[in-house]
Homo-oligomer: A and B are copies of this chain.
Amino acid sequence: MVYLTRRERFSSAHRLFNPDLTDAENDKLYGKCANSNWHGHNYELFVTIKGEVQEGTGVVINLKDLSRIIKEKIIDKLDHKNLNLEVDFLKETIVSTENIIIAIWDELELEINKINAKLHHIKLVETENNFAEYYGEKE
């Protein structure tokens, strides 16, 4: 069992905002991250799959397939976009790093199963000081 990781990147605008709260409550909860004029980040996304090495090829999967899936399903939809306004799979979501990473997992899991790999771990780096990780563990 070997684990393979592919890194992709996207640059997006977002804000932390709960529509059920007042502006004052949002400001208190999220501080400058609630700025109504948006801010943005260069995100780094690390997608790790696991599987067994195929005897005929010496690889678990063709990394180009993994890269293509991540680009089509995630990067093309998030890069140079507004995460609150423009992403189909983030509608009605508070776009925290936590919620983004869970939504990315749900987008990728089925597609990755199709290339005979198993999605194992996602890491989403928001700044050099903050990142989130997810293993698909539901409550």
Contacts and interface: CB of A to CB of B under 8 A. Distances in A.
A3 B122 CA distance: 10
Copies in the complex: 6
A40 B37 contact: no
Contacts of A40: 11-14, 38-41
Given A16-B58, A59-B98, A130-B6, A37 B1 contact: no
A108 interface: no
Size class of the A contact interface (CB-based, 8 Å): 35 or more
Contact of A129 (B7, B133, B134): B7
Interface in A1-45: 1-9, 11-14, 16, 18, 20, 29, 31-33, 35, 37-42
